[in-house]
């Protein structure tokens, strides 16, 4: 088994994503405005989906691939915020993957969402994960859930909020305790703690991700199969959004 999970550090990654982050927030006057702009960028320009690097993906890799799921997009969001001096905290919990993501890969997984300091003078923090799933996927997911009479599924939930004004929480995947698997929770703000988590027994996919066979099963089967489903849903969502304009 590998001796390290992460093959990168936030110190290096912040410098790699800094030019993009600085361009995004150009002209922004407050931390809140900076946070909202970066949130919108990560939501819209980095599509929801999975890559061969899975949870080992670095922020710059996720930015380059323009694709990621909750954990890599959370790390990217954190790095880009840090690059423009906005503080954030990564929060990780255990969730039931089904029905949020219909998969035979595993029952229990982890979900990362973020606390963002939108006003340092008042020490005001807001919790979000609406940057994870791009709007077309959310739109199609909500429409399908309405037809099915379900609350959670298709990568989102019935009350998902994609739009964020920097004032109130915006959550497009995690919803209260509907998908919570247990009481485990950890708050992380530096890569040493993230590395320790991924190498611990609290990360259910550790052995699969770190083993040669497990990583190939993820990249050869889980990733393309799930991305096809997401892409099909995105096509439907794009049509729904066009119809409302």
Whole-number Å distance between alpha carbons of 87 and 115: 9
CA 216 to chain centre: 22
Are the C-beta atoms of residues 145 and 127 closer than 8 Å to each other? no
How does residue 102 score in pLDDT terms, banded at 50, 70 and 90? confident
Residue 80 has pLDDT above 90, yes or no: yes
pLDDT at 104: 62
pLDDT at 202: 97
**Range name among 2-11, 79-88, 126-135 with the lowest pLDDT average:** 2-11
Query: Helices 31-45 & 70-83, crossing angle to 10 degrees?
Result: 140
Q: What is the pTM of this model?
A: 0.96
* Angle, vertex CA 189, rays to CA 183 and CA 191, nearest 5: 105
Question: Mean pLDDT across the stretch 38-65?
Answer: 98
What mean pLDDT is reported for the chain? 95
pLDDT at 103: 66
Neighbouring-strand partners of residue 157? 152
Please report where in the chains the tokens 């906005």 appear, as a residue. 86
Residue 2 has pLDDT above 70, yes or no: no
Contacting residues for 138 by C-beta, under 8 A, at least 6 apart: 155, 156, 160, 162, 172, 237
Q: Please count the other Cβ atoms lying within 10 Å of the Cβ belonging to residue 121.
A: 7
- DSSP secondary structure letters along 91-120: EEEEEE-TTTS--SS-SEEEEEEEEEEEET
């Amino acid at each position: 088994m590998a001796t390290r999970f992460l093959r990168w550090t936030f110190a290096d990654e912040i410098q790699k994503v800094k030019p993009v982050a600085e361009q995004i927030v150009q002209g922004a006057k407050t931390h809140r405005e900076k946070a909202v702009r970066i949130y919108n960028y990560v939501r819209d320009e980095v599509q929801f989906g999975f890559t061969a690097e899975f949870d080992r993906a670095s922020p710059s890799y996720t930015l380059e691939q323009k694709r990621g799921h909750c954990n890599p997009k959370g790390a990217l969001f954190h790095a880009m915020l840090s690059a423009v001096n906005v503080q954030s905290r990564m929060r990780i919990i255990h969730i039931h993957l089904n029905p949020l993501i219909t998969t035979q890969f595993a029952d229990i997984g982890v979900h990362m969402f973020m606390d963002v300091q939108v006003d340092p003078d008042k020490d005001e923090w807001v919790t979000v994960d609406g940057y994870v799933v791009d709007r077309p996927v959310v739109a199609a997911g909500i429409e399908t859930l309405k037809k099915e009479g379900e609350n959670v599924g298709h990568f989102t939930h019935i009350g998902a909020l994609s739009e964020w004004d920097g004032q109130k929480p915006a959550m497009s995947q995690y919803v209260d305790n509907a998908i919570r698997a247990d009481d485990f929770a950890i708050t992380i703000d530096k890569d040493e703690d993230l590395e320790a988590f991924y190498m611990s027994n609290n990360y259910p996919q550790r052995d699969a991700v770190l083993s040669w066979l497990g990583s190939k099963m993820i990249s050869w089967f889980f990733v393309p199969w799930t991305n096809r489903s997401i892409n099909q849903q995105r096509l439907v969502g794009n049509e729904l959004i066009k119809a409302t304009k």
